[in-house]
């Protein structure tokens, strides 16, 4: 890493937003702020998506401020629905005189504004534009996703990927380009004919800290949780496979009377007042747009796996918090759990996986996406042999018969630190 002072801009969702991308961008900025000779700024979306999307994306319940005690500036400027703000974003970033601008890429629909920001930055600034790819081939495919992705990310100086699968997808959409893959971060962005790609594991979310005073046994008793608690945490989306996890747990619960399933997260498309007129208009308009762009099988507006709990008579074996979890409450659910359940149908490097490791919580996963790269059998989790409900249940039973010591997960963590990640980005 150079001794020259560097200015870094982290572009993506700021801490006012819900979800993993906000946590990711904030964690990265806070890490840069701790390093010598680095000045860091967050530049954020003011509105991340088209206004017809019927969902609340802002975090209106948390009281814990992740930027408290830091000198990090955070400017909310980019409005998806105002193209004039796209160029204004690049102009504002240029006034910060950045050496590096790291842009978080997590959904194809943001391709238009991101392309404009990158193109203008390349024109008015000498900074290195880095696109941090959380996916290339999107989980929910639409007719224009590939085009938006190519358009949005094509002009980056450097790419970051968190899995080799993502690197292969990058080569797939740009078949005529040459890429230079590095795991150390060392790269030469002036080298003609090759674009650097830095392969780094998704760091461990450390914004949330365990409460040493939490009486875990008391909490379990007060909430009717049994000795062994499986945890599903995060937005309830179809690709995350909660319907399969509940079905698998049902098999386990018939064989064991010492298990509970703790489900924490809001239904992704159920965050607004359904009776509100504007919400109704948004839902009709958005539904029409999805019918045009998505396969009908991909439309998850009616997806609600929580109904399975009553259907399978699991109410006394489950605890459900079907709402967005405030930042200050996250820790307790991970502390009372024995294993996280990530039986995803498709997967890109997961923030919930990283958050689980932060609490030394082993995870149980399907054999999809990047999981074969990150799951070390018996150390940080178990992976199903086949992606069937029966095998998911067998994997849960395997964990109960052969529990993983949290200290095994602890040993897995050093190479997944944010400091390692941030220092690799600075190596150019």
Q: How many degrees, rounded to 5, is the angle at CA 148 between CA 57 and CA 118?
A: 80
Question: Does 168 fall in a domain?
Answer: yes
In tens, the pLDDT along 376-392 reads: 988 999 999 999 999 99
Question: Does 336 fall in a domain?
Answer: yes
* Cα–Cα distance measured from residue 8 to residue 129, given in angstroms and rounded to the nearest whole number: 10
Question: Does 294 fall in a domain?
Answer: no
Q: Verify that 71 and 195 share a domain, yes or no.
A: yes
Whole-number pLDDT of residue 269: 54
Cα separation of the two ends of the chain: 8
Whole-number pLDDT of residue 65: 84
User: Number of folded domains in the chain?
Assistant: 2
Q: Verify that 185 and 316 share a domain, yes or no.
A: no
| C-beta separation of 365 from 383 below 8 A | yes
Whether residue 124 has pLDDT greater than 70: yes
Whether residue 196 has pLDDT greater than 80: yes
Residue 296: pLDDT band with limits 50, 70, 90 = very low
| Residue 28: count of CB within 10 angstroms of its CB | 23
Q: What is the crossing angle of helices 242-255 and 389-401, to 10°? A: 50
Q: Verify that 249 and 385 share a domain, yes or no.
A: yes
Q: What is the chain's mean pLDDT, rounded?
A: 89
Give the residue ranges of DSSP H helices in 206-265. 216-222, 242-255
Q: Which of 205-214, 265-274, 349-358 is least confident?
A: 265-274
| C-beta separation of 105 from 114 below 8 A | yes
Determine what percent of the chain is predicted with pLDDT higher than 70. 89
Q: Verify that 119 and 142 share a domain, yes or no.
A: yes
Bridge partners, 264 (sequence order): 233, 321
Total residues found in the chain within this entry: 428
Domain containing 327 equals 216-267+303-412
Whether residue 108 has pLDDT greater than 50: yes
Q: Verify that 320 and 194 share a domain, yes or no.
A: no
Whole-number pLDDT of residue 272: 47
Whether residue 43 has pLDDT greater than 70: yes
Question: Does 142 fall in a domain?
Answer: yes
Q: Verify that 52 and 111 share a domain, yes or no.
A: yes
Whether residue 298 has pLDDT greater than 60: no
Enter the pTM of the model.
0.84
* CATH classification of the domain holding 351: 3.40.50.2000
Bridge partners, 38 (sequence order): 6
Instruction: Name the more confident of 413 and 71.
Output: 71
Decide: residue 57, CB within 10 A, 0-12 exposed, 13-18 middle, 19+ buried. Answer: middle
């Amino acid at each position: 890493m150079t001794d020259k002072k560097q200015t870094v801009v982290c572009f993506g969702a700021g801490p006012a937003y819900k979800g993993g991308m906000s946590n990711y961008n904030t964690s990265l900025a806070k890490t840069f702020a701790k390093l010598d000779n680095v000045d860091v700024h967050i530049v954020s979306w003011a509105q991340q998506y088209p206004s017809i999307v019927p969902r609340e994306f802002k975090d209106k319940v948390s009281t814990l401020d992740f930027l408290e005690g830091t000198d990090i500036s955070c400017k909310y400027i980019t409005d998806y629905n105002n193209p004039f703000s796209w160029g204004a974003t690049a102009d504002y970033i240029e006034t910060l005189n950045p050496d590096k601008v790291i842009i978080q890429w997590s959904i194809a629909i943001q391709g238009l504004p991101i392309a404009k920001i990158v193109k203008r930055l390349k024109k008015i600034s000498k900074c290195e534009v880095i696109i941090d790819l959380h996916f290339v081939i999107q989980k929910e495919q639409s007719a224009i996703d590939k085009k938006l992705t190519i358009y949005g990310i094509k002009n980056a100086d450097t790419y970051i990927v968190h899995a080799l699968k993502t690197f292969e997808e990058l080569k797939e959409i740009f078949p005529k380009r040459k890429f230079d893959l590095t795991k150390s971060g060392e790269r030469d962005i002036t080298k003609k004919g090759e674009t650097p790609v830095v392969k780094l594991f998704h760091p461990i979310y450390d914004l949330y800290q365990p409460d040493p005073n939490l009486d875990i046994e008391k909490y379990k008793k007060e909430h009717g949780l049994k000795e062994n608690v499986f945890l599903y945490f995060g937005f309830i989306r179809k690709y995350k496979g909660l319907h399969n996890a509940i079905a698998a747990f049902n098999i386990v619960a018939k064989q064991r009377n010492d298990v509970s399933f703790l489900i924490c997260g809001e239904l992704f498309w159920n965050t607004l007042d359904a009776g509100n007129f504007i919400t109704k208009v948004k839902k009709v308009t958005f539904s029409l747009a999805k019918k045009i762009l998505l396969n009908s099988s991909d439309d998850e507006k009616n997806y609600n796996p929580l109904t399975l709990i009553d259907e399978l008579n699991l109410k006394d074996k489950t605890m459900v918090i079907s709402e967005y979890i405030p930042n200050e409450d996250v820790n307790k659910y991970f502390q009372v759990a024995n294993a996280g359940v990530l039986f995803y149908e498709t997967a890109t490097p997961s923030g919930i996986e990283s958050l689980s490791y932060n609490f030394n919580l082993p995870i149980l996963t399907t054999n999809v996406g990047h999981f074969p790269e990150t799951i070390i059998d018996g150390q940080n989790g178990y992976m199903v042999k086949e992606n069937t409900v029966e095998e998911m249940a067998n994997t849960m039973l395997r964990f109960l018969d052969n529990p993983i010591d949290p200290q095994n997960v602890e040993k897995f963590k050093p190479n997944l630190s944010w400091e390692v990640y941030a220092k690799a980005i600075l190596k150019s």
